[in-house]
């Protein structure tokens, strides 16, 4: 049985969604953010020294980092689903998107969050952050111009991994200039497995 250490209102929601898409049995160990600081509770450090979620346990394996978890679950339990054939060029494109989500696209969102807390002191950085956000969101929107999912006609783990970026753009009202990204996110959130994961995971601020 796979255990997901799941923090409310976090990127671990997409791991629940992936497990639902794969039809795998799993259990959830829940953690709640501090209502004042919004930080994860210290109990998470018992399974991840960084105190971050998601973390999964699968037998003797304990694994953190969303991209690594998505890759592991699809390779070990996907039976060929949700990723291209590793012998094809499409697989390299898939890996690019899988790592783009956290390696590139997440950074300007985090900078926007933290610099926004600086008030007047952070104002000189706002144009550069906005430029980077537009750069990355435009890149995703362009990739979705002629295809329903990142890898073509079918959902892949790359869509699941990148979904949080689309959700942030929507909840922060940055998505209006990107109609292909909007349509893609609506398509993702309408999937039965996505809805089932929300039902199991609990209230999720980015799934509205």
pLDDT in tens, 102-123: 999 999 999 998 898 899 998 9
Alpha-carbon dihedral angle through residues 130, 136, 137, 140, given to the nearest 10 degrees = 180
Question: Which pLDDT value is given to residue 37?
Answer: 86
- Domain at 113, CATH number: 1.20.1050.10
Q: How far is 3 from 22, CA to CA, in rounded Å?
A: 15
User: Rounded to an integer, what distance in angstroms lies between the CA atom of residue 121 and that of residue 132?
Assistant: 19
Instruction: Report how far residue 122's alpha carbon sits from residue 91's, in angstroms, rounded to the nearest whole number.
Output: 40
Total structural domains within the chain: 2
pLDDT digits (tens, 9 = 90+) for 152-189: 999 999 999 999 999 999 999 999 999 999 999 999 99
Distance CA 108, CA 130 (A): 8
Calculate mean pLDDT across residues 74-99.
97
What CA–CA distance (Å, rounded) separates 111 from 180? 25
Mean pLDDT of 90-95: 97
**Which residue range forms the structural domain that includes residue 161?**
89-191
pLDDT recorded at residue 205: 87
pLDDT at 18: 98
At residue 35 the predicted structure's pLDDT band, cuts being 50, 70 and 90, is confident
* Rounded distance between C-alpha atoms, residue 25 and residue 136, angstroms: 35
Domain identity same for 53 and 111: no
Q: What pLDDT is recorded for position 195?
A: 96
Residue 38: predicted pLDDT? 83
Say how many CA atoms lie within 13 Å of 26 toward its Cβ. Answer: 28
The CATH number of residue 51's host domain is 3.40.30.10
Q: What proportion of the chain, given as a percentage, has pLDDT over 90? A: 90
Buried b (16+ CB within 10 A) or exposed e, 32-62: eeeeeeeebeeebeebbeebbbbbbbbeeee
Instruction: Judge whether 32 lies within some domain.
Output: yes
- Are 35 and 115 members of one domain? no
64-75 per-position pLDDT tens digit: 999 999 999 999
Q: Are residues 93 and 182 in the same domain?
A: yes
Q: Does 208 reside within a domain?
A: no
């Amino acid at each position: 049985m796979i255990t997901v250490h799941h923090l409310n209102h976090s990127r671990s929601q997409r791991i629940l969604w992936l497990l639902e898409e794969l039809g795998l049995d799993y259990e959830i160990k829940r953690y709640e953010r501090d209502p004042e600081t919004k930080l994860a509770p210290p109990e998470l450090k018992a399974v991840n020294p960084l105190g971050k979620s998601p973390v999964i346990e699968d037998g003797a394996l304990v694994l953190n980092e969303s991209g690594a978890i998505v890759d592991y679950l699809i390779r070990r339990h996907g039976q060929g689903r949700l990723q291209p054939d590793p012998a094809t060029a499409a697989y390299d494109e898939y890996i690019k998107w899988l790592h783009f989500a956290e390696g590139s696209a997440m950074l300007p969102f985090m900078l926007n969050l933290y610099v926004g807390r600086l008030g007047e002191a952070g104002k000189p950085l706002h144009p550069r952050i906005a430029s980077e956000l537009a750069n990355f969101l435009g890149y995703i929107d362009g990739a979705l111009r002629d295809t329903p999912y990142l890898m073509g006609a079918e959902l892949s783990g790359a869509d699941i991994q990148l979904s949080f970026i689309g959700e942030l753009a929507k909840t922060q009202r940055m998505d209006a200039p990107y109609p292909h990204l909007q349509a893609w996110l609506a398509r993702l959130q309408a999937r039965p497995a996505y809805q089932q994961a929300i039902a199991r995971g609990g209230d999720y601020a980015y799934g509205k």
